[in-house]
């Protein structure tokens, strides 16, 4: 990675992703660190094929100082009560060449469904990308997507998806509620092990090789 644009990098139960921290502290990548609302609006701008969108987030903070390339834009409309024209951050579009997201369910056409507590930005990643690919815990018939869950769980629309793959446990070692919880033990190992060593043991092959390596490690611990 040469440049990373992100509002944060966390493993939730491990607050700061340690390999990200090491890369940042060593200066091995350029970081554009922005507010989460700015990140969302950058994806929305890309999804709507706009060069930028105005957002209040970032005004009055160090976000503007640490990102000197950011610009502001003044509203062409006066506030009716104050007569003031407000200034916003002009958040540039975050255009993606490709997006890969993981959801609970999907059909073969590319409609994706989340069943957990937080929809994240998966739909925006897909819409902001030139090509988007969805992995899911289970591929189901389209009619089944709305049988057991309300329609608003249909987060990802097929028109923004290029491909779908069924990959049970595809979010491991993190969680994909309610299908599976976080593998806290392996996540702690990931956080404490040097990256080349972790990658060599668990990421040297395909998906099945990863699962086999994970199962073998759990056997060693038991």
pLDDT value at residue 148: 76
Kindly state whether residues 140 and 127 are assigned to the same domain: yes
CA atoms of 136 and 110, how far apart (whole Å): 10
Kindly state whether residues 69 and 150 are assigned to the same domain: no
Long-range residue pairs from 11-20, CB within 8 A, at least 24 positions apart, any chain: 11/174, 11/187, 11/191, 12/174, 12/182, 13/182, 13/184, 13/187, 14/187, 14/188, 14/191, 17/191, 18/191, 18/192, 19/195
Kindly state whether residues 100 and 187 are assigned to the same domain: yes
**CATH for 114:** 3.40.1080.10
pLDDT value at residue 95: 97
pLDDT value at residue 120: 86
**Boundary (domain end) residue, out of 92, 121, 146:** 92
Whether residue 13 is contained in a domain is answered as yes
Structure tokens given for 42: 């950058």
**Tens digit of pLDDT for each residue in 110-168?**
999 999 988 889 999 999 999 999 999 999 999 999 887 888 899 999 999 999 999 99
**Tens digit of pLDDT for each residue in 45-89?**
999 999 999 999 999 999 999 999 999 999 999 998 999 999 999
Kindly state whether residues 105 and 168 are assigned to the same domain: yes
pTM: 0.91
Looking at the structure of the chain, the number of domains it has is 2
Kindly state whether residues 70 and 114 are assigned to the same domain: no
Kindly state whether residues 149 and 124 are assigned to the same domain: yes
Whether residue 206 is contained in a domain is answered as no
Over 80: is that where the pLDDT of 22 sits? yes
Kindly state whether residues 48 and 102 are assigned to the same domain: no
Kindly state whether residues 49 and 112 are assigned to the same domain: no
Least confident of 91-105, 145-159, 162-176, 186-200: 145-159
**Tens digit of pLDDT for each residue in 172-182?**
999 999 999 99
Kindly state whether residues 108 and 66 are assigned to the same domain: no
DSSP strand pairing (3-6 vs 52-55): unpaired
Kindly state whether residues 70 and 147 are assigned to the same domain: no
Q: Which residue range is the domain that position 141 belongs to?
A: 96-192
Whether residue 141 is contained in a domain is answered as yes
Q: How confident is the model at residue 218 (pLDDT cuts 50, 70, 90)?
A: very high
Q: How confident is the model at residue 37 (pLDDT cuts 50, 70, 90)?
A: very high
Kindly state whether residues 69 and 127 are assigned to the same domain: no
Whether residue 36 is contained in a domain is answered as yes
């Amino acid at each position: 990675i040469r440049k990373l644009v992100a509002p944060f990098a966390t493993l939730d139960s491990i607050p700061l992703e340690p390999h990200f921290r090491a890369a940042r502290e060593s200066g091995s990548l350029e970081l554009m660190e922005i507010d989460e609302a700015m990140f969302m609006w950058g994806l929305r701008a890309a999804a709507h094929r706009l060069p930028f969108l105005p957002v209040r987030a970032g005004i009055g903070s160090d976000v503007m100082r640490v990102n000197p390339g950011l610009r502001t834009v003044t509203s062409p409309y006066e506030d009716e009560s104050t007569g003031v024209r407000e200034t916003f951050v002009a958040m540039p579009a975050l255009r993606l060449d490709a997006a890969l997201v993981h959801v609970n369910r999907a059909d073969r056409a590319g409609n994706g469904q989340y069943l957990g507590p937080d929809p994240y930005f998966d739909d925006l990643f897909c819409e902001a990308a030139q090509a988007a690919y969805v992995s899911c815990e289970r591929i189901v018939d389209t009619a089944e997507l709305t049988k057991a869950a309300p329609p608003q769980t249909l987060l990802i629309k097929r028109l923004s998806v290029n491909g779908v793959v069924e990959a049970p446990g595809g979010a491991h070692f993190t969680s994909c509620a309610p299908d599976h919880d976080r593998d806290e033990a392996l996540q702690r190992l990931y956080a404490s092990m040097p990256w080349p060593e972790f990658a060599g043991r668990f990421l040297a092959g395909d998906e099945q090789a990863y699962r086999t390596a994970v199962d073998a490690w759990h056997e060693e611990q038991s």
